[in-house]
Amino acid sequence: MTTDAAADAAAEAEAAFASAHGGSPEGVWAAPGRINLIGEHTDYNEGYVLPAALPHATRVAARRRADGRVRLFSAQGDGSVAEFALADLAPGSVPGWAAYPAGVFWALAEAGHRVGGADLAFSSDVPTGAGLSSSAALECATVISLDELYGLGLDAPGRALLAQRAENAYVGVPCGALDQMASSCCVAGHAYFLDTRTLTGRQVPLDLTAVGLSLLVVDTRVKHDLGDGAYAGLRAGCERAAELLGVRALRDVDAAGLAAAEERLPAELRPLLRHVVTEDQRVLDAVALLDAGDPRALGPVLTAGHASLRDDYRVSCPETDLAVATANAAGALGARMMGGGFGGSVLALVDTDRLAEVEREVRGAFAAAGYGEPQTFQAVPSQGAHRVR
């Protein structure tokens, strides 16, 4: 995002603040959505992930209140203000989109942080339900604004874990740490190699423009919902497999031990294990390729990741499969679905001079299949959560 566009986006949040709450905020913060180069459904198995932040972000204009009340407004909402007293917060007590920021207030209090009331106004351009972490962006924007307004002194991983706690325990979605860690900790121009067991990470330079490559996101517009039970079912399956294998998490099975471990599981759990073990290895392979300065070679790793999500984990859908197959047939170096699955977005690694053709072919294939028009954009690795004003 250009400096001008970022300023416009912050001004939008300020305008939303003035209309909903009156007056001026004390500051404006932003937290981005994310892509994930590779490492899907590995985070709750204590494995590896490799996300990068998007230029698309949720901005929040915020001001403290002295009366212990919270008022939440979204420029993308229905025009109403969600209002509650901090003292009344309990998991699930605030419905709809406002549950995510409300959950952050709840998680901060649960962790013993002294946070008072606040007026918040959000403005976001992160596509929702697209596997691009719009929920994490909302949570992470909230937590960084409250951290700074109330002088809590948290660091970026600490903020991410509170945001994840909000989603797990307040909203009730059993997600891993990928999305919140990405939104909080990513650095512009880098992918973030994260070990979700130790929560230690490393920024890996990702300057694809310099080598004539682009990351194309195809949002299929097929909405996914992590709260619908399928995600929780997959997570439970992985936990059951780990228990049967006598390991803490599936991360503890390596590629060499995969075949023997599969033998010890019932048939329905074997594909879950296969995906997690091979996906962790794909993250390590991808990082090695980037470290070696060979980003073109990421393409087959992405496509192998998609096959594993489609055939073993079974979270792809006809639209994501079509986008991947068409992008690859049109000359992409590789492509895969991202996020929880059952819809959402596809990431394709493309030679920049073929970008227009790949986009055109994907749009044409969607039209021919009678699917809705996909949304496409280039992902430029951007900055994690930060203060804008």
Residues found near ligand GAF in the complex (CB under 6 A)? 40-41, 43-44, 175-176, 178-179, 226, 339-340
- Smaller CB distance to ligand GAF: residue 121 or 308? 308
In whole angstroms, what is the distance from residue 255 CA to residue 257 CA? 5
Q: In a 10 Å sphere around its CB, with 0-12 CB exposed, 13-18 middle and 19+ buried, how is residue 210 labelled?
A: exposed
* Per-residue DSSP letter, 133: -
- Smaller CB distance to ligand GAF: residue 49 or 82? 49
**207 among known catalytic residues:** no
Alpha carbons within 13 A on the beta-carbon side of 383: 12
- What is the nearest approach in angstroms of ligand GAF to the Cβ of residue 104? 16
User: What burial letters (b/e) apply to 262-283, b meaning 16+ CB within 10 Å?
Assistant: beebeeebbbbbbbbbbbbbbb
- Smaller CB distance to ligand GAF: residue 299 or 341? 341
Q: Are 333 and 358 in contact (CB under 8 A)?
A: no
The active-site residue, picked from 125, 147, 179, 280, is: 179
- Smaller CB distance to ligand GAF: residue 227 or 331? 227
**Closest listed residue to residue 349, CA positions, set 288, 305, 383, 310:** 305
DSSP 3-state percent helix, strand, coil across the chain (nearest 5): 50, 20, 30
- Smaller CB distance to ligand GAF: residue 89 or 175? 175
- What is the nearest approach in angstroms of ligand GAF to the Cβ of residue 49? 7
Helix axes 318-329, 298-308, angle to 10 degrees: 150
Q: Are 230 and 173 in contact (CB under 8 A)?
A: no
* Per-residue DSSP letter, 330: T
- Smaller CB distance to ligand GAF: residue 132 or 327? 132
- What is the nearest approach in angstroms of ligand GAF to the Cβ of residue 175? 3
Task: Give residues with Cβ within 8 angstroms of 109, minimum separation 6.
Answer: 86, 89, 115
In whole angstroms, what is the distance from residue 360 CA to residue 223 CA? 22
- What is the nearest approach in angstroms of ligand GAF to the Cβ of residue 88? 27
Q: Which residue is nearest to ligand GAF (CB)?
A: 175
- What is the nearest approach in angstroms of ligand GAF to the Cβ of residue 330? 26
> For residue 14, how many other CB atoms are within 10 A of its CB?
18
- What is the nearest approach in angstroms of ligand GAF to the Cβ of residue 313? 9
Task: List, by residue number, the catalytic residues.
Answer: 179
